[in-house]
């Protein structure tokens, strides 16, 4: 593997924290970029944006994504990684992740999985599967810990 950084997807969930721990254990010698990709508008914000003068939701969501990414990078540093934060706006989320991976020429994308199967996966979707399908580079999908 080249010396390029790994890209770790982070959203504040226990699955993303577990992904950081796993990345530190398996790939800890390489630098990391911890990314949070937020959508430009939530459903509620999209409805509110129909107002005459809509609030700057996309800007607010970008600030929140940067804040969460910095939290993830701080956690990654406490796990022994050399990590920087990157908050982004993107829709769909998988596309934002793949774009960042392309921007930094990531050696690998590390992403946690909720472990959905069957109908739940069909209904709720699988971000990790979408990233793996479109990334064009190695993707380490970290399943939830056993018994969780």
Domain boundaries, the chain: 6-142
Of 132, 64, 58, 47, the residue nearest 91 (C-alpha): 58
CA distance 146 to 80: 24
pTM of the full structure: 0.84
pLDDT in tens, the chain (148 residues): 578 999 999 999 999 999 999 999 999 889 999 999 988 755 555 555 556 666 677 788 889 999 999 999 999 999 999 999 999 999 899 999 999 999 999 999 999 997 655 545 444 458 999 999 999 999 999 998 876 5
Extract the tokens encoding 91.
Answer: 């829709």
- In this prediction, residue 111 carries a pLDDT of 97
Task: Report yes or no: 84 and 34 within 8 Å, Cβ to Cβ.
Answer: yes
- In this prediction, residue 40 carries a pLDDT of 73
CATH class assigned to 6-142: alpha beta
- In this prediction, residue 123 carries a pLDDT of 45
């Amino acid at each position: 593997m080249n010396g390029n950084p790994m890209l770790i997807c982070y959203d504040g969930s226990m699955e993303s924290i577990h992904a950081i721990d796993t990345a530190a254990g398996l790939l800890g010698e390489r630098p990391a970029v911890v990314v949070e990709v937020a959508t430009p508008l939530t459903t509620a914000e999209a409805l509110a944006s129909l107002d005459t003068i809509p609030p700057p939701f996309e800007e607010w969501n970008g600030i929140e994504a940067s804040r969460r990414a910095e939290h993830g990078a701080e956690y990654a540093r406490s796990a022994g990684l050399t990590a920087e934060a990157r908050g982004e706006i993107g829709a769909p989320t998988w596309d934002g992740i793949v774009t960042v991976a392309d921007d930094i020429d990531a050696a690998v994308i590390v992403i946690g999985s909720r472990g959905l199967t069957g109908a739940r996966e069909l209904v709720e979707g699988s971000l990790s599967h979408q990233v793996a399908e479109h990334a064009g580079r190695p993707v380490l999908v970290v399943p939830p810990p056993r018994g969780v």
